[in-house]
Amino acid sequence: MSHSASPDASLEAALRRLAGVGRLLVALDFDGVVAPIVTRAEDARPTPETADAVARLAGLPDTLTAFVSGRSLASLVKVASPDPRTLLVGSHGAEVRLGGEEHPVVLDPEQEAALATLHRVLAEVSSQAEGTWVEEKPAGRVLHTREAAPETAAAAVAEARRQLAAHAGVFIKEGKQVLECSVVHATKGEGIAFLRQVAEADAVFFAGDDVTDEDAFRALEAGDVGVKVGEGETAAEFRVTDPAAMAQTVELLARLRADLTARRPQDQA
């Protein structure tokens, strides 16, 4: 598919079917899907067309929207400026915001101690590795390596892994030029299952670009639609090239859903 191509015929057919379900949940990963990847996490912003389409979807009957992100809720809210109706799952499923009400992660004393260790180890590793830095989250720390030389990045990740291997209660995932370390075990698959229940959804649309999104793709069920953004192995049924192609996909879904709900008798006053 080219950069500006519309969704291909098989994806369009799947969206057409999805647009007709009773209650629909449209859940999107943020970085690399809603927002193009940038060097500094705080500079990421949604593609305007995707943000508009999500807002339109959120205003339709029986249609819920969600962002399911590895970011902390605070960071997600800051960069995404989400519509208050959009449900938010942060820290890969450990934090939730529903209808504007936040459910923050609460750490027990052991987890607090593990977080302190995590911070100390990653700060120390980062101080020795030029071009790396540490992002803080309520239940974890992220070692960013995007601006480091490849060999420096690889050595820093290996050293952090080596030092953290001995610590029980630390969960490590690799993402796009990041080492994600958390003291809470949470996955986007659990996030999707939770949202499906909260939304009472008959079907779910989910799009993601990273390895951690594979948990969410695996949580999809018959009748759902999963779309992988970019290259790499995936459990998703469909694929688009980049966030620009994702914008067209979400726009099409919003258009189809608006047309169909406008024709549903129960939605007419």
One residue of 7, 46, 70, 230 binding ligand L263DTV3 per CB under 6 A = 70
Residue 176 binds ligand L263DTV3 (CB under 6 A):
yes
The one segment of 4-12, 33-41, 164-172, 189-197 that binds ligand L263DTV3 by CB under 6 A: 33-41
Supply the minimum distance, in Å, between the C-beta of residue 158 and ligand L263DTV3: 18
- Name the residue whose CB lies closest to ligand L263DTV3: 70
Question: What does the block give as tokens for 140?
Answer: 């974890």
DSSP-assigned letter for residue 178: E
Tell me: does residue 142 bind ligand L263DTV3 (CB under 6 A). yes
38 versus 158: smaller Cβ distance to ligand L263DTV3: 38
d(C-alpha 256, C-alpha 258), whole Å? 5
In the set 95, 135, 215, 224, which binds ligand L263DTV3 (CB under 6 A)?
135
Of positions 14, 21, 25, 44, contacts ligand L263DTV3 by CB under 6 A: 44
Tokens of 40: 């500094």
Task: Verify binding: residue 81, ligand L263DTV3, rule CB under 6 A.
Answer: no
Q: Which residue(s) pair with 240 in the sheet?
A: 229
Q: Taking the CB of residue 55, how many other CB atoms lie within 10 A of it?
A: 15
Residue count of the chain: 269
Q: What CA–CA distances, in Å, run from 88 to 95, 197, 258?
A: 8, 14, 23
CA dihedral 258, 264, 266, 269 (to 10 degrees): 70
Phi-psi label, residue 88: left if phi above 0, alpha if psi -120 to 50, beta otherwise? beta
Dihedral of alpha carbons 168, 169, 170, 174, sign: positive
Number of Cβ within a 10 Å radius of residue 265: 5
Contacts of 121 (CB under 8 A, 6+ apart): 160, 163, 164
Span near ligand L263DTV3 by CB under 6 A; candidates 6-14, 31-39, 81-89, 102-110: 31-39
Q: Identify the residue among 14, 51, 71, 199 touching ligand L263DTV3 (CB under 6 A).
A: 71
Count of CB atoms situated within 10 Å of the CB of 93: 27
Which 94-123 positions form the footprint of ligand L263DTV3 (CB under 6 A)?
Answer: none
Out of 5, 13, 38, 149, the residue judged to bind ligand L263DTV3 by CB under 6 A: 38
Among 45, 146, 218, 255, which residue sits at the site for ligand L263DTV3 (rule: CB under 6 A)? 146
The reply on whether position 29 binds ligand L263DTV3 by CB under 6 A is yes
Positions in the binding site for ligand L263DTV3 (CB under 6 A) = 29-32, 37-39, 41, 44, 69-71, 135, 142, 144, 146, 175-178, 180, 210
